[in-house]
Amino acid sequence: MTLKIGYIGLGIMGKPMARNIMKAGYEVVVHNRSRESVNELVSEGAIEAHSPAEVARQVDIVFTNLPDSPDVELVVLGEQGIIEGAHAGLIFIDNSTIKPATARMIGGRLAENGVQMLDAPVSGGDIGAINGTLTIMVGGPAKALEKAMPVLQAIGKTITHVGDLGDGQIAKAANQIMVAAQMVAMGELLILAQKAGADPQKVVQAIRGGAAGCWTLDNKPQRLFEGNREPGFKAYMQAKDLGIVMDTAREYGIPLPTTSVNTQLFNAMLEMGMAELDNSAVLGVIEALAGEELHIA
């Protein structure tokens, strides 16, 4: 049986992910608050729906990719939400980054209606979404993952079953701790190199092959050297994710001293009017603190 797929939330990440599912040969029903992305995918062969419930009624698996916990809760459990289109055997997969407790609550409500849920947040940014090479961290029932795996393989390269429902979100929180640390560290090292008199481009070349090597140094510096601070992954989303990290840390009594500082730096980005820029543009906060702007190549 060929599965029919629904995708709700067609932003920077969701649109290319839905497109890759279509390219893999699946019939895809799409819904989004803004119609532009819907119209674009419909022109490529997708089917339009006018509510989450309408999507859910038609499909075997329905995905969401939304900004925050309240958005997912509304789309799933609200008026004309996925739960109103629920049917036995439906699988709900959430690609958003939300609170683990919210994922578990939503999954519990859906289970009462015969729906299995997987929380499956992703990492890899818009580049990974476009290329279908995302890292996907999955929590939830193994049987549901087994059924959905071929679809997930259309959008991701590394798919790991972390554990029970909510555990995917815990893995994503851990991921965002590291991402934030790398972005801040990159901003610091670029400004340090330049203000101390070295060429930051050559410094990056010198260190990226050693112990400092990481995804961030492989993908972000050249864009910054060209003066490109457009997303990518928007700063306000990074700040939101760090808020989830800190809320989870408080819930379990976990000290996160470095992440606390990084959270303040990303919140400063928002206060400085950089909310819509790429998360690598946290460099701008370091520039302001140092009184030194990165030279454009």
Quick: pLDDT tens for 258-297.
999 999 999 999 999 999 999 999 999 999 999 999 999 8
Domains 4-164 and 170-290 share a fold: no
H or E element at residue 31: strand 27-31
Residue 189 phi, psi dihedral angles, 5° rounding: -70, -35
The answer, yes or no, to whether residue 50 has pLDDT greater than 90, is yes
By DSSP bridging, strand 47-48 and strand 27-31 are parallel
Residue 270 amino acid letter? L
Which residues lie closer than 8 Å to 118 by C-beta, 6 or more apart?
91, 92, 93, 94, 138, 139, 140, 141, 144, 145, 148, 165, 168
Quick: pLDDT tens for 142-194.
999 999 999 999 999 999 999 999 999 999 999 999 999 999 999 999 999 99
Concerning whether 172 is annotated as a catalytic residue, the answer is yes
Structure tokens at 66: 């939304």
Its CATH architecture, for the domain 4-164, is 3-Layer(aba) Sandwich (3.40)
pLDDT band at 92 (very low <50, low <70, confident <90, very high): very high
The answer, yes or no, to whether residue 1 has pLDDT greater than 90, is no
Q: Which residues pair with 8 in a beta bridge?
A: 31, 64
Task: State the average pLDDT over residues 50-74.
Answer: 98
Structure tokens at 221: 């510096």
Q: Choose the catalytic residue: 15, 99, 172, 220.
A: 172
Q: What is the pLDDT of residue 297?
A: 80
Quick: pLDDT tens for 192-209.
999 999 999 999 999 999
pLDDT band at 108 (very low <50, low <70, confident <90, very high): very high
The answer, yes or no, to whether residue 18 has pLDDT greater than 70, is yes
pTM: 0.94
Per-chain mean pLDDT for the chain: 97
The residue ranges of every structural domain in the chain are: 4-164, 170-290
Helix (H, G, I), strand (E, B) or coil at 32: coil
The CATH T-level fold of domain 170-290 is N-(1-d-carboxylethyl)-l-norvaline Dehydrogenase; domain 2 (1.10.1040)
